[in-house]
């Protein structure tokens, strides 16, 4: 999915301010609604047992049923645990920056969302002093890296509410 970005600087609630005039491309399709003024993660829910799964998949990982439908996940949740990744991960498959000179440590957390799903996600924050278990977080779509054609890759992340 290619999206021509011509966004205003007044970011909608779910957006980081993206100044680039290049195209903004989700790091992978199908993970979150984009473009959107109020983006959400796309999950699937089993009609038989009610289990919610992210990302959306064609069968229920609990009961194996194939009667599943897509649902949007809430934009707010709480940190169950967190860490700071201080070194670049293996790439490929990682699509973000792995240049040791310009690599910036990033936060990763498990966020518990009200639909009964614990999601692994990047954080907008990488200062350990500003992170805590139980902290209320909100979904944002933020820059992840650049692709070979100069387009901007964007991914889902969570930021502290009120930040």
Residues that bind another protein (CB under 8 A): 27-28, 31, 43, 51-55, 57, 61-62, 80-90, 92-96, 106, 108-110, 112, 116-122, 128, 133, 144, 155-156
Cα→Cα distances 71→40, 119, 135, Å: 10, 15, 24
Sheet containing 42-46: order of strands = 52-53, 42-46, 68-72
How near is the Cβ of 8 to another protein at its closest, in Å?
27
How near is the Cβ of 9 to another protein at its closest, in Å?
26
Q: 59 exposed, middle or buried (CB, 10 Å; 0-12, 13-18, 19+)?
A: middle
Q: Which is nearer to another protein, 21 or 36 (CB)?
A: 36
Reduced to 3 DSSP states, what percent helix, strand and coil does the chain have, rounded to the nearest 5? Answer: 0, 40, 60
Q: Which is nearer to another protein, 7 or 158 (CB)?
A: 158
Q: Which is nearer to another protein, 21 or 29 (CB)?
A: 29
Q: Which is nearer to another protein, 15 or 155 (CB)?
A: 155
């Amino acid at each position: 999915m290619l999206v021509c970005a011509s966004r205003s600087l007044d970011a909608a609630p779910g957006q980081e301010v993206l100044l680039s005039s290049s195209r903004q491309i989700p790091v992978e399709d199908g993970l979150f609604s984009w473009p959107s003024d109020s983006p959400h993660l796309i999950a699937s829910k089993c009609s038989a047992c009610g289990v919610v799964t992210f990302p959306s998949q064609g069968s229920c990982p609990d009961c194996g049923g194939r009667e599943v439908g897509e649902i949007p996940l809430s934009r707010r949740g709480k940190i169950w645990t967190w860490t700071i990744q201080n070194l670049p991960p293996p790439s490929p498959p990682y699509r973000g920056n792995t240049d040791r000179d310009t690599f910036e440590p990033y936060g990763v957390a498990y966020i518990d969302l009200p639909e009964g799903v614990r999601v692994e996600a990047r954080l907008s924050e990488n200062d350990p002093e500003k992170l805590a278990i139980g902290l209320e977080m909100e979904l944002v779509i933020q820059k992840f890296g650049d692709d070979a054609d100069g387009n901007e890759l964007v991914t889902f992340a969570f930021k502290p509410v009120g930040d």
